[in-house]
Amino acid sequence: MSVIAVFNETDGVGKTTTSVNLLAGIAQRKQRPLGIDLDPQAHLSSAFGAHPSLAGDSVYAFFVEERSLAEIAQITKSGVVLCPAHVDLAQLDRRIGRGVAAVTRLRLALSAPDATPGPVVIDCCSLLGVLSLNAIFACDVLIVPVSSDYLAFQGAQQVERTLNALEPVFKRRLPRRYLLTRFDESNRMSVEVAELMAMSLRPEEICSTRIAETVNLAERSVQLFDGLRDAPPSRGARDYQALVDELVGAGFVP
């Protein structure tokens, strides 16, 4: 099993878009991935038509009521297995704090012998709280989408500082990949952000794949996998498939 978390401390950089397309690309490899939505805004859940009315039917129950991931997971209309989010996740820091037991709860569940055997993709909110820390501690690789603007780059720098500060806890360097999204080689800002990333981050931790456009989630939610099989892929979809191939080559996706 491989665990991929998608996180940046800046909104609007393509976290959920990246999560959806990673799930789709992994499914294209004849695997059944598990999606976990750790964002109280529940964008990933909405993309797949999952709208739990009760917090007890969402990943909130995993953290607060000690229900297993298997109990709250549902098979969506797209065929994606998803642990959906609920707005009550916004209260989680107050409910369970940020102690070691709180931030490692997801890691322990995913490393259990009866955990899902397939790859896991975790969509995070943009706040560095107990939810995002659970994803960071649980993942094998952290994908940091960086849209081609200076604010997103600053968010990526903050993520890098956070990960470096956590190294003594991990006792290793957590694998991470910075992914440039909404890249337009004819746009000066896109080129400058790419240059800033190359100067300030380790080159081996910057994805060679660049996402040239934002894939429209609304077009690829409920019929996601059928659409990938039957329709010619968009430029963005091809870019995300290249990203999956890159992660396979690096050993992060089996």
pLDDT of residue 116: 76
Beta bridge partners of 74: 82
CATH code assigned at 149: 3.40.50.300
- Report the alpha-carbon distance of residue 180 to residue 147 in Å, rounded: 6
Backbone φ, ψ for residue 206 (5° rounding): -105, 125
pLDDT of residue 222: 40
pLDDT of residue 1: 77
Specify whether the CB–CB gap between 178 and 144 falls below 8 A: yes
pLDDT of residue 243: 94
pLDDT of residue 213: 64
* Domains in the chain, number: 1
Q: Does 213 map to a domain?
A: yes
51-63 residue pLDDT tens: 898 999 999 999 9
**Angle ∠(15,18,20) on CA atoms, nearest 5:** 110
pLDDT beneath 70: ranges in the chain: 213-234
Q: Does 95 map to a domain?
A: yes
Task: Please give, one letter per residue, the 3-state secondary structure of 53-121.
Answer: CCHHHCHHHHHHCCCCHHHHCEECCCCCEEECCCHHHHHHHHHHCCCHHHHCHHHHHHCCCCCCCCCEE
Secondary structure element (H or E) that encloses residue 52, with its range:
none
Residue 212 structural domain: 3-249
pTM > 0.85: yes
